[in-house]
Amino acid sequence: MFLRRFFIAGLSALLVSPLAVVAADLPDLGGKTVVVVTENAYPPLQFVDPASGEAKGWEYDAMNEIAKRLNFKVEYQNTSWDAMIQAVSDGQYEIGMTGITIKDDRKAKVDFSDPYMRSQQFMLVRGDESRFTDAKSFAALADGLVGAQPGTSPFYTAVYEILDGNEQNPRIKLFETFGATVQALKAGDVDLVLTDSVAAKGYVDASNGGLKVVGEPLGTEDFGFIFPKGSDLVAPVNAAIAAMKADGSFDALNKKWFLDYKMGQ
């Protein structure tokens, strides 16, 4: 059950060339430059490799392949999560990517692509944690602390599905990045971090037993790229996403980043 739920549904053996280019029926954007913003703090979707200093991950590979198929050049920039949606809404960037959950309230500010990934939230804890085993027993642990970024899906899940619905609950410790929440967990400053299955697997694999996942998944999330409202990039990107789903390219990326890749290597 643990391994089955850890991986995104649909992971399969690669049956086609890893990133086969299927150009038929896809729009040609004429080599234009598109500014894509990310946070580089959400492995294995996007992060900076500590060994090489290179920004990499599932979303980088996917976006580079989308750009190749649609004939545009990508200029990557970085911003913090708490500024990203508003910055894209304001037109500072043309596309945003950082494992962004498709939510109705966010659609008021930005347009979303079709989903490129479905994930679930899991409870990430230290490897020696024995005081709680699920959301109910964590809620009953009066001094248990959860680390989260404000305004994210894990934050709201912690507030409304685990705790008491009070967004000011002192049991929630706020951090600027997801990586900081995990570091706080490792250091013992918090006891729980909620994250989707893709990031959970990366951190558990890299921890050498220092981290584990407990409990049942707490919800299903669809991830999408974001665009300024009315962007003419949405339809072409959706066409490329559909092509990559159909020809096995997303399966190849899933295999590379969630089955083969080990954080820290």
- For residue 99, what is the DSSP state? S
Residue with tokens 């946070």: 39
Which of 21-25, 53-57, 222-226, 227-231 comes out lowest in average pLDDT? 21-25
pLDDT tens for 58-93 read: 999 999 999 999 999 999 999 999 999 999 999 999
Res 256: pLDDT: 87
pLDDT tens readout for residues 228-241? 999 999 999 999 99
Q: Which residue has the higher pLDDT, 10 or 106?
A: 106
- 89: nearest Cα among 219, 79, 214: 79
**Structural domains in the chain (count):** 2
CATH number (domain holding residue 197)? 3.40.190.10
Average pLDDT of the residues of the chain: 88
Report pLDDT digits (tens) over 166-215: 999 999 999 988 889 999 999 999 999 998 776 788 789 889 999 999 99
The b-or-e profile of 205-233 (16+ CB within 10 A means b, else e) is bbbeeebbbbbebbbebebbbbbbeebeb
Helices vs strands, H then E, count in the chain: 10, 14
Question: Considering the domain boundaries, does residue 83 fall inside one?
Answer: yes
> Taking 90 as the threshold, does the pLDDT of residue 31 lie above it?
yes
Domain range spanning residue 14?
Answer: 2-116+224-260
Please check whether residue 265 lies inside any domain of the structure: no
Lowest model confidence (mean pLDDT) among 15-19, 126-130, 133-137, 252-256:
15-19
Q: Is residue 51 part of a domain?
A: yes
